[in-house]
Amino acid sequence: MKTVTIADVAKYADVSKSTVSQFLNHRYDYMGEKTKKRIELAIEELGYSPNIIARSLKQKSTTTIGVIVANILHVFSTQVIRAIEDFCNEADFHIIVCNADDNPVKEKRYIDMLRAKQVDGIITFPTGGNVALYERLIDDNYPIVFMDRMIPDIAISTVLLDNKKASELAVETFVKKGYSQIGMITPSLDQGITPRMERIAGFKNAIREHNLSFNPSYFASSEIPDIQNVIKEMLELPSPPDAILALNDRVLFEILKYTKKHHINIPDDLALIGIDDVSFASFYSPALTTIAQPAFEMGKKAAELLLNRIRNKDQNAEMEIHRFEPKLLDRESC
């Protein structure tokens, strides 16, 4: 790599570096036609391409943002990233993606490194374990938006699902179809992650509103690896639930594994609704009734919020919460 710089172009075109810089930044207001042509030619001949790092240093903007997801292997994260990337691409921004694995230590490391790399802003699925750091970010007026989760007392704009509504939709659908022994299975609640908490709250609430009584033995949560036992326990109750809401796609997977293994017939033996639409929902047997999150719109909104914030750096932006509507995909499992 030869590394041709603006100085080379200037010399070749016989103008000053300033003029070349003006040209590159499309400020031709006062530039002579011949000068323009000469510079164009020089760039062409030399195969010059500007060093954006140098520009970034001076301009204090890298046109890059960081995106910290819990785990890119989760379909929801993937869709969110894709939407963010598309939006950023339009705006000539790039995204650095990081997996925090819901680990506050990794999250902190990433946020620190990303800031050291001078990214213009960050979109993160916050772990909740770095409150002091979030506060620092706010103090610094650093552009950041939260995705999927809120952190108590942290005033950072957030994009997330109307999680209560999602559960309510599910319960309502179960009730409408005549189920009344409704259970719910969730992953670990240790970290108090927003969507889980809210979906549970929404579930309990909906149960009450439909004049059913909340049966604690119809509610269970567990780390994914142990969840088969939890399912087993619930379904082997003397009077087991006739319907189960899976808090997310990973729980749904586990229930499906269980029902296949034990030849449980869906929906006759057990009705099922999962939050998160899954790739195979429509051609599974039975087709799976799910509640989808508008992941692309959510990702787009987050990107939009962040880029606006970046562009109006000065204004101390208002904190905004954007709730997105879940959507029932009524198929055959309920």
**Which residues bind to DNA, rule: CB under 7 A?**
3, 5-7, 14-19, 21-22, 24-25, 30-32, 34-35, 48, 50-51, 54-55, 57-60
Q: Which residue has the tokens 């709730």?
A: 323
132 touches which of its own copies, DNA, none (CB within 5 to 8 A by kind)? none
According to the binding rule CB under 8 A, does residue 291 interact with its own copies?
A: no
Q: Which of residues 113-152 bind its own copies (CB under 8 A)?
A: 113-118, 140-142
Candidate residues 7, 54, 105, 155; the one interacting with its own copies per rule CB under 8 A: 54
According to the binding rule CB under 8 A, does residue 282 interact with its own copies?
A: yes
284 touches which of its own copies, DNA, none (CB within 5 to 8 A by kind)? its own copies
Q: How many residues interact with its own copies (rule CB under 8 A)?
A: 51
**Number of helices (H), then strands (E), in the chain:** 12, 12
Dist. CA 281–CA 277, nearest whole Å? 7
Using an 8 Å Cβ cutoff, are 129 and 149 in contact?
no
17 touches which of DNA, its own copies, none (CB within 5 to 8 A by kind)? DNA
Q: Which of residues 300-329 bind its own copies (CB under 8 A)?
A: none
Q: Which two tokens stand for residue 236?
A: 């082997």
According to the binding rule CB under 8 A, does residue 41 interact with its own copies?
A: no
User: Within the chain, what is the greatest distance between any pair of CA atoms?
Assistant: 90
Which helix (H) or strand (E) segment holds residue 67: the answer is strand 64-69
User: What are the angstrom distances between the C-alpha of 170 and each of 262, 267, 310?
Assistant: 24, 14, 38
- The 3-state DSSP class for residue 100 equals coil
User: What are the angstrom distances between the C-alpha of 46 and each of 7, 33, 235?
Assistant: 11, 20, 72
Q: Specify the residue, 55 or 250, whose C-beta has the smaller distance to DNA.
A: 55
Q: How far is the CB of 21 from its own copies (least distance, A)?
A: 15
